[in-house]
A and B are shown apart, each in its own frame.
Chain A
């Protein structure tokens, strides 16, 4: 068990190193340098050149890379050109917004998908199953951003039920009001994100339930006289829950990719919107930091999923 986890973590190390080299080279390919963020009318070129030398940015790329990594470990990611503040502080402010939205979406996804999957599996081949399968098919194949645009149009503009921009209303004051307003702003993107990312969980749970229906332990429970409702709730559902929990890690990738669309469409000030803004302002220090953070988050997500899966499924461990 521990050996699997350890090996899995060891594989991560070269991946992170390659990712950082890739990000560094991409940053090098972009015009500008880490001091673009501190350029102001008072700075002169000689000063910048001196700063470059001081920070070891005039050497060959591998020594520059090494310096960059050392800075990285000191939490120094440079200054943002657009916002004139340290990148770490800027991103920390935005990350909480993205985090809340992602967390809400994920909880809602599970809240919708778990009962649906069990229900579809229980009534396999009947009308509810057909309807749920049709729903997953529709949500699976329509591109996410199209749905978001149509959704914000109907529920945000035409019906006017939800706010269409920002993460908090300007008039919100006081502790309760603030939280309420924040929640109100993530409600629509969260619901839409959740409704359109249930496919994997529903399909997996459905086939698990269908398999379990014919297994020995369910037959034993039935012959003991356990009510059908309890068989599904306690026996089958409990057994399928852990592999489903493992999906949480993998879904981080989807949520992060989706956050770029969600936040752009809803003008929600999170990391995704920050990325798009930084690209249009050519704010390279921010871009580099964000790509690195998203990559590492993806990596941790898959690590989490793999660990849960290897806990649950011994076949993965043997390999």
Chain B
């Protein structure tokens, strides 16, 4: 008889809506709202966000209109065309290839690989950290030893050796090779947080009521550390841009016919290029700096949003 209870209640309809509103205003705001208000409180963060999103969209769309094989053709007539000319507004390199076009396609490749690497390595790192942190004891011990071992490996060297051993590789194999080695930071962070989280009462309650362990890990603990995951993923995206470009710079990333920001910066390895023909490498270097700074700035804002004591927006 719900109706009857309603009638018996002494609270009027107006009071009920008022109480509802009060409860809503006092409730913890949702993660999305906290993040949004944090962005609103920090103007540079909005600028950084617009730069990143706008730039990624521009690069993805613009590169569709560029014919890469034709762009990479040697055109001796344009040999080191200076920048700001009518033909190539960022000049051309030693083979007469337009720097602006290479920059766009290269950015797409580099950002794409960094995104792929972030998705794969973060997923793996998060799963590793959660499992290792939740199952204490032997499982954790074993997983920690694997972690220690991976930390000891001279990563950069092993990646370079792997790239030289594998006869044919492309962007996807390259991303997979990188992913083998770049999950450790994430896994350690997630593990230490999971260790703390697994001691809490709600986990103990779930265990006593017989919830499946995997369900506890992935649908109870993981949502509770989601803010940490968001922050870490953003920051590792910024770092991962440096991974592929660094190897391409050394000449062990993408093949030379596939432009990347790293191969563009590698133009600076030639003493003539670095001083006389600065436009062949400087735009790419500046782009990486701006990209990494903006992404990490967004990461900092997200970190503040995740930590109630540092918030500048909503403070409740």
Contacts and interface: CB of A to CB of B under 8 A. Distances in A.
A279 B249 contact: no
Interface in A117-162: 137-138, 140-146, 149-150, 152-153, 157-158
Interface size class of B (residues with CB under 8 A): 35 or more
A275 interface: yes
A268 to B, nearest CB: 14
Given A15-B148, A153-B282, A158-B275, 20 more contacts: A15-B145, A19-B149, A26-B162, A30-B164, A140-B296, A141-B295, A143-B246, A143-B288, A144-B246, A145-B245, A149-B268, A253-B151, A275-B160, A280-B251, A290-B157, A294-B157, A295-B154, A298-B153, A302-B148, A302-B151
B252 interface: yes
B249 A145 contact: yes
Contacts of A146: 242, 245, 265, 285, 288-289
Contacts of B165: 26, 29-30
B299 to A, nearest CB: 8
Given A141-B295, A295-B152, A157 B274 contact: yes
B278 to A, nearest CB: 7
A35 interface: no
Contacts of A264: 250, 269
A305 B161 CA distance: 28
B152 A279 contact: no
B274 A152 contact: yes
A157 B271 CA distance: 9
A26 B158 contact: yes
Interface in A87-116: none
Contacts of A294: 154, 157
Contacts of B156: 257, 260
Given A19-B153, A298-B152, A11 B145 contact: yes
B153 A295 contact: yes
A291 B154 contact: yes
Interface in A247-281: 253, 256-257, 260-261, 264-265, 275-276, 279-280
Nearest to A287: B161
A149 B265 contact: yes
Given A30-B164, A141-B293, A291 B157 contact: yes
B149 A15 contact: yes
Interface string A280-302: 10100001001100110011001
A238 B303 CA distance: 31
Given A149-B281, A257-B154, A291-B157, A18 B149 contact: yes
Contacts of A158: 275
B292 interface: yes
B296 A141 contact: yes
Contacts of B246: 143-145, 261
17 contacts: A11-B148, A15-B145, A26-B161, A29-B165, A140-B296, A142-B288, A142-B292, A145-B245, A146-B242, A146-B288, A153-B275, A257-B154, A260-B156, A260-B250, A279-B161, A290-B157, A302-B148
A181 interface: no
A64 interface: no
Contacts of B271: 157, 164
Interface in B263-311: 265, 268-269, 271, 274-275, 278, 281-282, 285, 288-289, 292-293, 295-297, 300
B238 interface: yes
A260 B249 CA distance: 12
Nearest to B300: A137
B241 interface: yes
B142 to A, nearest CB: 12
B152 to A, nearest CB: 5
Contacts of B238: 141
B151 A275 contact: no
Which of A144, A149, A299 lies at the interface centre, i.e. has the most chain B CB atoms within 10 A of its CB? A149
B188 to A, nearest CB: 12
B292 A256 contact: no
Interface string A6-23: 000001000100110010
Given A257-B155, A260-B156, A302-B152, A291 B161 contact: yes
A295 B269 CA distance: 28
Contacts of B157: 260, 275, 290-291, 294
A298 B155 CA distance: 11
A276 B159 CA distance: 12
Nearest to B155: A257
A158 B164 CA distance: 35
A137 B296 contact: yes
B25 to A, nearest CB: 30
B125 to A, nearest CB: 18
Contacts of B251: 280
A291 B158 contact: yes
Which of A15, A143, A145 lies at the interface centre, i.e. has the most chain B CB atoms within 10 A of its CB? A143
